[in-house]
Every structure is written in C-alpha cells, then in structure tokens.
Amino acid sequence: MRLFRVIAAATTAMLLAGCGGGISPPVEELVGSGTVAPPSVAERTTAAAVRPADVRANELGVVPVLMYHRIVAKPTSVYDRKPEDFRAELERLAREDYVPVTTAEFVRGEIDIPAGKHPVVLTFDDGDPSAFSLGPDGEPEQGTAVRILLQVAEAHPGFRPVASLYVNAEPFGGGTKGQRALTWLHGHDFEIGNHTYGHTNLGSAADSEAQQDIARGDEAIRKALPGYRPTTLALPFGARSDTKGLVLRGPGYDYAGALLVGANPAPSPYSVDFDPEAVPRIRSQGADGAEAKYGSTVWLDELEADPDIRYTSDGDPETISYPAGTGSPAERFAARAVAY
C-alpha cells in the first residue's frame, strides 16, 4: 500500500504539469430500451447473504477512472487508441469483474454493483465523432467507442454499457448531427458532462473567464437536452483554478465533481482522501511506449497483482464495508461505514 501511494502521488504530480470488426448483432438487440435494469429481488437476497469478508470487500479501495479521447485506426498521439485495443481493454475489465459506473454515480457515492465486483469509470473527452456517431439508420456507427462498448456489454452480462462523455462546443460533429448524438446518448443512460465551451485552460485563465467558459459549456448542454443538468466537469488539460471551489460552483453551474488528467486510480468517494474537486484519471494506454507506466495497462496490472487495494463491493448499497485498519471513511459517510 505504501508503494502504491508513493507511485500515485508522484505520477499525479508529473502528469498534471503536462497533458494536454467482424459481424456484430444489431444494435437494437444490444441496447434494448436503453434502461439499465435494477437488480432482481433474488439478486438482492443473495447479496444480503454475502458477508463482506467472503468477497474481501473494500469499499474504501481505489477506483480506476479511465480517460479516452479518440478511437482511431491510426493513432497520432498518446491520447489515441485503436478500436481493437479499446475493445481488448473493455474485455479485460469485464473478465476481471469490473462494472462501469458513470462519473456522476461515482462522485456522489451512488455505487450499486454486485458483491465482489469492482467499479470502473469510462470517460471520453472532447466529444470526438470516433467516440460516438450515429449512422444513417439512427444507430451507433461501427467502430465507435460506444458501439464497441455496447457489443462488449452484450457479450458479458452485468458489464453495464454506461460511460461519461465530456463535450465542448459543437460536439460529435456539431449541428444537427451533434444534437442527434446528444439526444441518443442521454436516452440510453450515458452521462453528458461539461468540458468547458472552448476547452479553456482553467489554470491560466482569470477567474471570471474560467467561470464564463464553464457556464457557457453548461448552458450549451442544457439547451441541447432540455430538462437535463450536467453534474460533473472534466478539466481541459487537467488544469484547475487556484481559487478553491471555482471549478465546482459558479454563476450558472453547480457540480458534484471535477476530473483531472491524472495518472493513477482515484480514491473511493467514501474515503477521507477523496477530493471531488480533483478526481484523478488514468490515460488508456498499452504497456509499451512513452509514459506507459502511467497508463491503464500498467495500472490494471498493478491492481490485479495487489487486489486488496482496489474497491471491491459488498453488494449492499446501504453499507460501506472495509477491512479494519485499511482506511478511514469520510465524516459524511461514517454512519454507514462498517469495518470487519
């Protein structure tokens, strides 16, 4: 655990200084109504019978919040991933008992997954068409991130097809195309988050400029999706204002969490170490190449090798279970926390 903390602190500090298919089943079979069914009574009864120690529950453990940008056949930067590599990473997550949750669910502490499973947050920045585009038939385009996610979820029951997509002005190709994309995503339980209107560096902008660009991005999303309010923000370049609280609240916006670029897993939202204003993310990346030690493959290997440090669910959303002596719950969650 000590080694993990040293690596985490070092990698976060380093990256914050920089940054910047085969025949598939029809999509209607993959997504159905777009509603994620709640656990059945039988599943709840089974979960209630599981003791935290039986599944080595640790709901104060760390959570991988993965960051994606473009999904393209020919990557041109470390932020791009090939479709086949993206699919392989999702397949790995499913095999290793991860269950996707949205950023909003994560930062609010609304993690309701089966006992023994681990939450993972899939985030996509910049509203790139390679993350999501609709074809002429009104269904997700083959090869896009969302289409691949739906296919992997279909092949792995329990792997929720949800993600958080962070947008600037004119997302997913803009205009009518972008509007249709946002409407589809919202209707199928994907989270639409703010990435500021103009992809502004909030660390170097004056407070008034930073607030204005966050508010403009928020307004654009609400205009495109009447009745919907964004609840989380992805910080462009991972940079935030020195003014405490500015990225979470200001004229026209009120957020539960803000995402860094980061380089390591995030603390549990129930942990005393959790800071909703600075949630670290892990860049999706293979085990080779520049800065691979900060990427998802290496970190997933680390979590697989040392599973006790990661968040493992007890199956009961009303309690927060953790091994005695392994962490401290935040004060607002203390009443629900149970050490074993």
Predicted confidence (pLDDT) per residue in 164-209, tens digit? 999 999 999 999 999 999 999 999 999 999 999 999 999 999 999 9
Where do the structural domains in the chain lie, given as residue ranges? Answer: 2-23+54-339
Instruction: Give the Å distances, CA to CA, from 324 to 1, 94, 282, 312.
Output: 14, 28, 28, 14
User: Which has more confidence, 203 or 31?
Assistant: 203
User: Which has more confidence, 299 or 7?
Assistant: 299
Which pLDDT value is given to residue 161? 98
Query: Comparing C-alpha atoms, which of 67, 64, 38, 72 is closest to residue 148?
Result: 72
Mean pLDDT estimate for the chain: 89
DSSP string across 43-86:
HHHHHHH--GGGGT-BTTSBB-EEEE-EE-SS--STTEE-HHHH
Which pLDDT value is given to residue 11? 43
Question: Looking up tokens 């200001």, which residue turns up?
Answer: 250
Q: Is the pLDDT of residue 32 over 60?
A: no
DSSP state of 140: B
Query: Comparing C-alpha atoms, which of 168, 166, 164 is closest to residue 191?
Result: 164
Which pLDDT value is given to residue 37? 52
Which pLDDT value is given to residue 10? 42
Which pLDDT value is given to residue 262? 74
Secondary structure (3-state) at 236: helix
Residue 208: which residues within 8 A CB-CB, separation 6 or more? none
Q: Is the pLDDT of residue 220 over 50?
A: yes
Instruction: Supply the pTM of this predicted model.
Output: 0.87
Which pLDDT value is given to residue 322? 98
Q: Is the pLDDT of residue 20 over 60?
A: no
Secondary structure (3-state) at 181: helix
Q: Mean pLDDT, to the nearest integer, of 296-308?
A: 97
Helix (H), strand (E) at residue 122: strand 118-125
Secondary structure (3-state) at 307: helix
CA–CA distance, 335 with 51 (Å, rounded to integer): 19
Q: Is the pLDDT of residue 64 over 80?
A: yes
Which pLDDT value is given to residue 49? 73
The model's pLDDT over 263-293, given as tens digits with 9 standing for 90+, comes to 899 999 999 999 999 999 999 999 998 789 9
Secondary structure (3-state) at 119: strand
Give the count of beta carbons closer than 10 Å to the beta carbon of residue 323: 17
The fourth-level CATH superfamily of domain 2-23+54-339 is Glycoside hydrolase/deacetylase (3.20.20.370)
Q: How confident is the model at residue 48 (pLDDT cuts 50, 70, 90)?
A: low
Q: Mean pLDDT, to the nearest integer, of 104-133?
A: 98
Phi first, then psi, for residue 172 (nearest 5°) are 50, 40
Q: How confident is the model at residue 24 (pLDDT cuts 50, 70, 90)?
A: very low
Inter-residue contact 319 to 114 (CB < 8 Å):
no
Q: Is the pLDDT of residue 296 over 50?
A: yes
Inter-residue contact 77 to 327 (CB < 8 Å):
no
Q: Is the pLDDT of residue 6 over 50?
A: no
Q: Length of the chain in residues, anyone?
A: 340
Which pLDDT value is given to residue 316? 97
Inter-residue contact 4 to 306 (CB < 8 Å):
yes
Query: Comparing C-alpha atoms, which of 6, 301, 259 is closest to residue 293?
Result: 301
Q: Is the pLDDT of residue 100 over 80?
A: yes
Which pLDDT value is given to residue 35? 43
User: Which has more confidence, 23 or 82?
Assistant: 82
Helix residue spans in the chain (DSSP H) = 2-16, 27-31, 41-49, 83-95, 103-107, 145-155, 175-187, 207-224, 296-305
Question: Looking up tokens 């195309």, which residue turns up?
Answer: 177
Which pLDDT value is given to residue 3? 39
Q: Is the pLDDT of residue 9 over 50?
A: no
Which pLDDT value is given to residue 39? 53
Inter-residue contact 220 to 168 (CB < 8 Å):
no
Q: Is the pLDDT of residue 159 over 90?
A: yes
Query: Comparing C-alpha atoms, which of 260, 332, 290, 336 is closest to residue 52?
Result: 336
Q: How confident is the model at residue 320 (pLDDT cuts 50, 70, 90)?
A: very high
